[in-house]
Structure 1
Amino acid sequence: MCGRYYIDDETSREIEKIIKDIDSRNSNKNYKTGEIFPTNTVPILVSQQESITPNLCIWGFPNFKNKGVIINARSETAFEKKTFRESLLSRRCIIPANGFYEWNKNKEKIFFTQRDSNIMYMAGIYNTFQEEARFVILTTAANNSISDVHDRMPLILNKDQISDWLNDSAKTQAYLNQTPTMLNRKSNYEQIGLRFN
Structure 2
Amino acid sequence: MCGRYVLFSDTEMQDIRDIIDEVQRKVNGEMKTGEIFPTDKAPVLIQEQGIITPDAVKWGFPNFRNKGVVINARAETAPEKPMFRRSLETKRCIIPCTGFYEWSHNGPKTKYQFNLPESGALYMAGLWNDFDGERRFAILTTEANVSMSEIHNRMPVVLTRPEMQLWMNNYQDALDVLQTARPELIKTPA
Query: Which bin holds the TM-score, normalised by the shorter protein?
Result: over 0.9
Q: Which amino acid aligns with 1:41?
A: K
Identity over aligned pairs, percent: 45
CA contact (8 A) 1:96 1:119 kept: yes
1:93-152 alpha-carbon deviations (Å, 9 max, x no partner): 000001000000221101101113110010000001111100000000000111000000
Q: Equivalent residue for 1:94?
A: 94
Q: Equivalent residue for 2:3?
A: 3
Tell me how far apart the structure 1 counterparts of residues 132 and 40 of structure 2 sit (CA, whole Å).
17
1:141-172 alpha-carbon deviations (Å, 9 max, x no partner): 00011100000000011112212211111212
**What SS does structure 2 have at the residue aligned with 1:135?**
strand
Q: Equivalent residue for 1:166?
A: 168
| Shift of residue 24, structure 1, vs aligned partner | 2.3
**What SS does structure 1 have at the residue aligned with 2:120?**
coil
> What count of residue pairs does the alignment treat as equivalent?
187
**What SS does structure 1 have at the residue aligned with 2:83?**
helix
Q: Which amino acid aligns with 1:149?
A: I
Q: CA RMSD in A?
A: 1.1
CA contact (8 A) 1:123 1:157 kept: yes
| TM-score, reference length from structure 2 | 0.95
Q: Equivalent residue for 1:14?
A: 15
| Shift of residue 12, structure 1, vs aligned partner | 1.9
Tell me how far apart the structure 2 counterparts of residues 103 and 22 of structure 1 sit (CA, whole Å).
30
| Shift of residue 74, structure 1, vs aligned partner | 0.3
**What SS does structure 2 have at the residue aligned with 1:76?**
coil
CA contact (8 A) 1:111 1:187 kept: yes
Tell me how far apart the structure 2 counterparts of residues 62 and 25 of structure 1 sit (CA, whole Å).
24
2:69 pairs with 1:69: yes
Q: Equivalent residue for 2:113?
A: 111
CA contact (8 A) 1:31 1:40 kept: no
Q: Which amino acid aligns with 1:22?
A: V
Q: Which amino acid aligns with 2:164?
A: I
